[in-house]
Chain A
Amino acid sequence: MIKLALRGARANLGRLILTLISVVLGVAFVSGSFVLADSLRSIFDQVSEDAFAGVDAQVRGIENDMNSTDGEIPRFDDGVISSIAKLPEAQYTEGGLFSFERAYTIDSNDEVVRPTGPPVFTGSWGGPSPVSSFRILDGEPPTAQQVVIDPVQAERGGFEVGQDITISLPFGEPEVFTLSGTIDFGEGGTGGAFFILFDLPTAQRVLGLPGQVDSVVVAAADGVSPDELVTAISAVLPDNLEAVTGEVVIGEQKEDFGSFINIFGNVLLGFAIVVLFVSTFIINNTFATLVGQRTRMFGLMRSIGASSKQIMQMVFIEAGSIGLAASGLGLVGGLGVASALKQLFSSAGGEFPEGPLEIRTRTIIVVVIVGMGVTLASAILPALRASRVTPLEAFRSGGKTARPLTVRIAAGSAVLLPGLILLAIGMFGNPGGTAATLACIGIGGALTFIGVSMLSAMFAGVVAGFIGQPVAKLRGVTGRIARGNASRNPQRTSSTVTALMIGLALISGVAVLTKSILDSFEEVLSESISADLWVFESNQRLEFSGLLVDQLAELPEVGQVAGFSPTAIRIDDEVLTATGFDSSTGTSVVNMGIVDGVAEIGREGIAVLDTVAEKRQLSIGDQVDIEFEDGYATSLNVRGIFDDASVIGADWLIDRRLTTEHRITDGITFAGLTYADGVDPAAGRAAVEATTSSFPQLSVQDNTEFQEEAEGQIAQLQIVITALLVLCLVVAFFGIVNTMVLAVLERTREIGLLRAVGMTRRQLQSSVRWEAAIISLFGALLGVVLGLLLGWAAVIAIPDSFVSKLGIPWGQLIVYVLVGGLLGVIAAWFPARRAARLDVLEAISTQ
C-alpha cells in the first residue's frame, strides 16, 4: 500500500511540486518566525547577562500603577547611596540616572545625530567598576564637562576621542563637552541605541534632576551572598525603595526584552499562520483534483480487493509524504526567511544586533507538526471522497456527482455563520482579554473565509461567466472558450482562487482601514484644530520640557500657546489618563467641543468627556476627588464638559500646573500655538524655530505638514503589512499555476481537437491565459469586496476617537483587482506554453 501511495506521489510529482512549494512557503514563514525570535532572544539574554554580570544587588524606586508612565522609572534621592556604601556587606556602590530622548550630539553640520528606530539614552556612568554595565572601548571615563558615547554614534557624527562636541540638552542652551572615550553596553553592542553618558553630577544637572538617581547598584563584599546583601540594604531603605539581587534584575531585563521579542515574534507568526491557512486551500484543491482524476483507478483497485480504508490510507500517505518533505524544506527555508525578515526590518529603520541564527528543537518539532498537520488536514475531504469510490466506478466514465446545491448552501452557511458570529464578538464584543479577542477574530475570520469559499462555488460559474463577457466579446472564439473553461467547474474555480481572495481581502481590508484612519485624521485636523503651528518630538512623539511653552509665550510673534501633558490620575480607585493643558489658552489651539461650562477650567477645575460625564453622572459644579502620580490628592470642580477628545487623547482635562507639579517629569507631548495678530506666518514660524532650535529633537509643523507626515507614516506601516501579506499572493500564485496545469492536463484531448480544427498555438496560449485571468479576476473581486466589508467592520469596531469615518481607497482597490487578474495571466504563462506545445496527434489520441 505504502509503495503504491509513494508511487502515486511520484507519478504526480510535477503537480505535487507546486503544492509542495505553497506548503513550504507557509512552513518556512513559521520556522522563520521562530528562528528569528529565538535568535534575538539569545542575543538579548546575553546582553542582559553581560550588562549586569557584576551587580549583586540593585536599589530602585517601587513602581506602582501611577508612577510608571511614559517608560520612565521612579527617581529618588541620592542620599541613600552613602548609607548603603557604609554597610560592611557592600564592597562597591554606585548610583545611576538614566533618561531617553533628552539630549543629542550635534555634528559639525549642526545636524542632530540619532538612530532611525531605537532611542538615544542619556545618563550617568561612574567608569569601569565591578558593577558597570558599560565597558570602555577607547579613551577615559567621563569627568565633569566630559562625555562618553557609543562608537556607532561617534562614527555617524564624525567625532574623535579628545574632541569637543556640542550636545543639546533638555533644559537651556546646548553645551560643549569633551569626548573622553567610547563605550559599549555589555559585550554585545548597543542594539542600535545611542548612549550619551556623563558622570553622575553632570547627568543630574543636564537632566534637570539634581540629587536624584533612579538606581543604585551594589557589589557584595567578599563572602557576602547577594541575598544577604539585599537583606542588609533593605534594612536601611526608606519605604518607597526596594532592593533586589542582580539575578532578579537580569531576569527582569530578559523578560523586558523578551516581551518585546514575543510581540514581534507573535506578529510574524500571525502572518505565517495566515500564509499557511491560505496554502491549505491549495493543497486541498490539488488533492481534490488528483482524486477526481483517479476515480477510475481507485474503482479498479476497489474491484480487485482494496478496502476503502486502504484507499483512504493511500491518499493520506501521499499527503503525509508531501507534508514531511514540505516540513524539511520549510525548516531550511526558515533560515532564509529569518535573514530576509532581518533585512526587511533593518531597511525599514530598525537595526538588529548581529548574531547567529538559531534552530531550536522546539522549532523543528513545531514545523514538522505544522507542515504535516496542515497537509493531512487539507487532504481529509479528498481522502474521504476517494474512499467512497465504488468498484463500479472503474467501469463508468467519470460522471462527477456534485453534491446537491441545497447541501452545499447548508454546509457553507454552517461554516460561515459561526465564523461571522465569532468575528463580530471579537470585533465588537468584549470576550475578555486580548488573547480571547484575537482568537475570536482569528478563528472567526478563518471560518468566514472557508464559508465564503464554500458558498462562492455556487456563484463562481455565473460570476466568472459575467466577468468573461467582455473577453468573449473582444477576443472572439478564443475568449469564449476561455470564458467557458473559467466557468465550467465552479467548484474548482472557487477553490483555486480562495488563496487569492483571502490575500487580497486582507490587503484591501488594511487599505480601507488605512484610508479611514487618514480621512478621520484629516477631519480631526480641520474640525478640532485652530493652531497655526505644532511643536512635538519628531521621532516617537516622546515628551519634551514644558519650559518651552513659557519660552514660546514670551515671543512677540506668538499669540497664544498651550502645552499638553498626559498623566495618570486615580478617580474612584481607578487609574485613568488625564491630559494637563494650559487651560487659559488651550481653546485657541484646540477645539475640544465644549458642550457645557467652559474650557478655561483653571487650577482647581476639571473638564470631562460628555459620555464619561453621563456614565459617572457628573455635571457642572460637582466635585471630583483625584489622586496624582506623586500621591498628592485633591478635589477638583467640574467646570466643563466636552465632546471631542480626538486631539486631547483623554477623557479628562486638568490644568497643566497640576501635572507639572505632581508628575515624575514636567514633560509635555506637544504644544500648539497661534501667531499674534498681524504676524506674517513665515516670520512667526522663523521666530518659533529659533526658539526650538536648542531642542533639536523637536519638529515644528503646520497642519498641512503634520497631516502629510502622518500620512507618510501610516502609509509606511501599510506597506510593511502589505509586504508581509504579499506572501499570501505568492502562495495563491502557485495555486493558480497548479490548477491551470491540472486543467490543461485534464483537457489534453480537447486541446488536441482545437488544434486539429485550426486553433494556432498562439490562440491556445491566449485562451488559457484569459481563462486564468477571468478566474483570478473573480477571486480578486471577491477578495476586494470582502476586504471592503472587513475594513468597514473594523472602522465600526475601532473607537471613534481613532477612526470616525469610512474611507474607501477606490484607486488602490481597483489596482488590487487588476493585479489579481495579472497574477492569473502570469501564473498561466507556463501552463499555457505547455498546452501549446502539446503534440496535436498525441493529444487527440489521449483517452
Chain B
Amino acid sequence: MTTTETLAAAARIVNGTKTYGDGDAAVTALHEVNVEFGSARFTAIMGPSGSGKSTLMHCIAGLDRLTSGEAFLGDTLLADLKDKKLTELRRSEVGFIFQSFNLVPTLTAEENINLPLSLGGRSGDREWIDTVIDTVGLRDRLSHRPSELSGGQQQRVAVARALASRPTIIFADEPTGNLDSNSGSEVLAFMRRAVDEFGQTIVMVTHDANAAAAADRVLFLNDGKIVHDMSEPTAERILDMMKSIGS
C-alpha cells in the first residue's frame, strides 16, 4: 500500500526493503515500503511487535541502511552519504527521543539539550532554545544531571534536545513507554505543541493507542508492510484497527 500526502515531505521512503541476514536465516523487516512524512505533522507508527516499526524509523533516520529502495531526508538521498555526512545530517536535521537512557549522564540537562548543536560547533538559536526550555518547563532544572531528574523530567529534556536544533524531523521510539500516565501525557502534550506552535515534524513509534491518538496520522505496520494509513485518529478507531490486524 502506498501512502502519499499533499504537503511537502520532510522524509520519505521509496520501495524500501530491509532484509537482515541472508540465506535461510534472512528476515525481511521491511517489504517494498513506500511512505512519506509530511512537514509539520505528527505521525504515529503502530503495529505488532516485530512488524518493522523500529526498522522503518532507523532507516529513514540514517541510523541504518535499506537493503534496496531509497530513503530521503528532505531532498537528501541517504544512500549517497558516508558515515561522517550521515552523522552530521543526524546532528542537524534529525531529532531523537528514545524510550529510555536518552541523556548523557555526565552532562547537565542544559548541556544535554545543546548536545547536537555543540557537537556541530554551533550555539544555535538562543531565543528558540529558551522558548523550548520554557515550553517543557525545565528552567529551574538546567544545571541538574540526569541522575538528579525524574523519568518524566528526563524525557522532557530529551524532547527539548530533539527540538533545540530545529531539525527537519524528530523520531521518537516509544517515548512514553517507560513513563507513568501523567508524565506520559505531559511529554505527549509537548510534542503536540511543538507540531502545532512551531511547525515541527514528528514521527513516533508507539504501542499505546492513547498516545497514537495525539498524532495527526497513524500508520499501521504488519509483517514489514504498511497495512493502513489513518488520518485524524481516535483511540477507539486505533484499537479497532489494531484488533483487525490481529495484534
Q: How far is it, in angstroms, between the C-alpha of A841 and the C-alpha of B59 when the chains are bound?
A: 11
Q: Which residues of B contact A485 (CB under 8 A)?
A: 106
Whether the pair B107, A484 counts as a contact (CB closer than 8 A) is: yes
Q: How far is it, in angstroms, between the C-alpha of A755 and the C-alpha of B119 when the chains are bound?
A: 10
Of the listed stretches B91-99, B134-142, B224-232, name the one at the interface; the rest are far from the partner chain: B91-99
Task: Verify if B240 is at the interface (C-beta below 8 Å from A).
Answer: no
Q: Which residues of A contact B102 (CB under 8 A)?
A: 753
Q: Which residues of B contact A484 (CB under 8 A)?
A: 104, 106-107
| Contact flags B82-122 to A (C-beta < 8 A → 1, else 0) | 01100110111000101001111111000100111011110
Q: How far is it, in angstroms, between the C-alpha of A57 and the C-alpha of B101 when the chains are bound?
A: 87
Q: How far is it, in angstroms, between the C-alpha of A776 and the C-alpha of B197 when the chains are bound?
A: 49
Whether the pair A760, B84 counts as a contact (CB closer than 8 A) is: yes
Of the listed stretches A63-71, A330-338, A473-481, name the one at the interface; the rest are far from the partner chain: A473-481
Task: Verify if A750 is at the interface (C-beta below 8 Å from B).
Answer: yes
Task: Verify if B63 is at the interface (C-beta below 8 Å from A).
Answer: yes
Whether the pair A840, B115 counts as a contact (CB closer than 8 A) is: no
Q: Which residues of B contact A844 (CB under 8 A)?
A: 63, 98
Q: Which residues of A contact B121 (CB under 8 A)?
A: 476
Count of inter-chain pairs, beta carbons less than 8 A: 72
Interface residues of B in 56-82 (CB under 8 A from A): 58, 63-64
Q: How far is it, in angstroms, between the C-alpha of A488 and the C-alpha of B121 when the chains are bound?
A: 24
In the complex formed, the residue of B with least CB distance to A761 is: B83
Task: Verify if A749 is at the interface (C-beta below 8 Å from B).
Answer: yes
Q: How far is the CB of B242 from chain A (nearest CB, A)?
A: 24
Whether the pair A480, B84 counts as a contact (CB closer than 8 A) is: no
Interface residues of A in 759-801 (CB under 8 A from B): 759-763
Q: How far is it, in angstroms, between the C-alpha of A753 and the C-alpha of B162 when the chains are bound?
A: 12
Interface residues of A in 445-483 (CB under 8 A from B): 476-478, 480-481
Whether the pair B90, A754 counts as a contact (CB closer than 8 A) is: no
Q: How far is it, in angstroms, between the C-alpha of A583 and the C-alpha of B26 when the chains are bound?
A: 101
Q: How far is the CB of A843 from chain B (nearest CB, A)?
A: 10
Q: Which residues of B contact A690 (CB under 8 A)?
A: none
Whether the pair B104, A754 counts as a contact (CB closer than 8 A) is: yes
Task: Verify if B192 is at the interface (C-beta below 8 Å from A).
Answer: no
Task: Verify if A304 is at the interface (C-beta below 8 Å from B).
Answer: no
Whether the pair A757, B119 counts as a contact (CB closer than 8 A) is: yes
Whether the pair B88, A477 counts as a contact (CB closer than 8 A) is: no
Task: Verify if A758 is at the interface (C-beta below 8 Å from B).
Answer: yes
Q: Which residues of A contact B41 (CB under 8 A)?
A: none
- From the candidates B83, B90, B105, B106, name the one contacting A757 in the complex (CB within 8 A): B90
Whether the pair B107, A759 counts as a contact (CB closer than 8 A) is: no
Q: Which residues of B contact A756 (CB under 8 A)?
A: 63, 90, 96, 98
Task: Verify if B161 is at the interface (C-beta below 8 Å from A).
Answer: yes
Q: How far is the CB of A274 from chain B (nearest CB, A)?
A: 35
Whether the pair B87, A758 counts as a contact (CB closer than 8 A) is: yes
Task: Given A754-B104, A758-B90, A841-B64, verify A477-B58 contact (CB < 8 Å).
Answer: no
Whether the pair B120, A758 counts as a contact (CB closer than 8 A) is: yes
Q: How far is it, in angstroms, between the C-alpha of A760 and the C-alpha of B116 when the chains are bound?
A: 11
Task: Given A485-B106, A840-B63, verify A758-B101 contact (CB < 8 Å).
Answer: no
Q: Which residues of A contact B101 (CB under 8 A)?
A: 749-750, 753
Q: Which residues of A contact B107 (CB under 8 A)?
A: 477, 480-481, 484
In the complex formed, the residue of B with least CB distance to A478 is: B119
Whether the pair B63, A757 counts as a contact (CB closer than 8 A) is: no
Closest 7 CB pairs of A and B: A758-B91, A484-B106, A477-B118, A758-B116, A760-B87, A758-B119, A757-B116
